[in-house]
Amino acid sequence: MKIGIIGAGNIGGNLTRRLTAIGHDVSVANSRGPHTLTALADETGATAVTAAEAVRGAELVVVTVPLKNVPDLPSGLLDAAADDVVVIDTNNYYPKERDGRIDAIEDGMPESRWTEQHLGHPVIKAFNGTYADDIVDKPRPHGDPERIALPVAGDDAAAKKTVRDLIDAMGFDTVDAGGIDDSWRQQPDTPVYGLRAGTEEVAKALAAASPERPQNFRA
């Protein structure tokens, strides 16, 4: 699949490593420019590009930048992607440490809904509660007792299936976490956030989440 990754930090870097390792055609971008990504490109075979170039013709785009930087992405960014492009949002709202106050999220809007509004495109929420190192350290074959499951939320059934199939091929099970209106169940400080467990425990953790935003994750 032709994949564009916007953000080349902890998560974007390791998604680049894993997705190239299983044979995808990956382009990766950061804010400082492709010349700062030559080491990652040499290591993985990915193509270092600008954000606009990462999206051009992509069948799948991953947005994995600090949440506060989402509004900095060029408007209409996704217009140049393939028809029916699937967009993965890995982001989290860390108001105290990083992002500052975002009123809509403080007022209860799911973080991925806010991101969708800025991107002008629906997203599938995935990897937001996954430790970055686990993307390269924890893939396991089907049936392995150590294979972990990741929650995946989104409103578009076809796009969600594409993402779940991709994550399956990466070496992880998935659990359908509902639509974006339900995606608070996997936001920071919920029971599933950072949980390394199989499908049953992940489903239980999603069900046990409280809709109250935890104090630690309020501005």
Ligand X SMILES: NC(=O)c1ccc[n+]([C@@H]2O[C@H](COP(=O)([O-])OP(=O)(O)OC[C@H]3O[C@@H](n4cnc5c(N)ncnc54)[C@H](OP(=O)(O)O)[C@@H]3O)[C@@H](O)[C@H]2O)c1
3-class state of residue 87 by DSSP: strand
Type of residue numbered 7? G
Of these, 64, 112, 115, 183, which contacts ligand X (CB under 6 A)? 64
How far apart, in whole angstroms, are the C-alpha atoms of residue 49 and residue 32?
10
Quick one: which segment of 9-17, 141-149, 178-186, 211-219 binds ligand X (CB under 6 A)? Answer: 9-17
Choice between 31 and 199, CB closer to ligand X: 31
CA distances for 3 relative to 97, 125, 204, 216, angstroms: 30, 16, 32, 34
Whole-number Å distance between alpha carbons of 15 and 35? 19
Piece in contact with ligand X (CB under 6 A), picked from 18-26, 75-83, 130-138, 168-176: 130-138
Minimum Å gap between C-beta 148 and ligand X is: 14
- Total residues at the site for ligand X (CB under 6 A)? 27
Per CB under 6 A, 91 contacts ligand X: yes
Q: Which of 126, 15, 6 is nearest to 73 (CA)?
A: 6
- Shortest approach of ligand X to residue 182 CB, angstroms? 18
Q: Which stretch binds ligand X (CB under 6 A): 115-123, 124-132, 163-171, 198-206?
A: 124-132
Under the binding rule (CB under 6 A), the answer on residue 115 touching ligand X is no
- 9 in contact with ligand X (CB under 6 A): yes
Residue 28 DSSP one-character state? E
Half-sphere exposure of 122 (CA within 13 A, CB side): 15
Q: Maximum Cα–Cα distance for the chain, whole Å?
A: 45
Q: Is 192 in the site for ligand X (CB under 6 A)?
A: no
Please pick, from the candidates 3, 4, 5, 8, the single residue that binds ligand X as defined by CB under 6 A: 8
Query: Least distance in Å: CB of 213 to ligand X?
Result: 15
* Interatomic CA distance for residues 157 and 178, integer angstroms: 10
Contact set with ligand X (CB under 6 A): 6-12, 29-32, 51, 64-67, 69, 72-73, 90-92, 127-128, 130-132
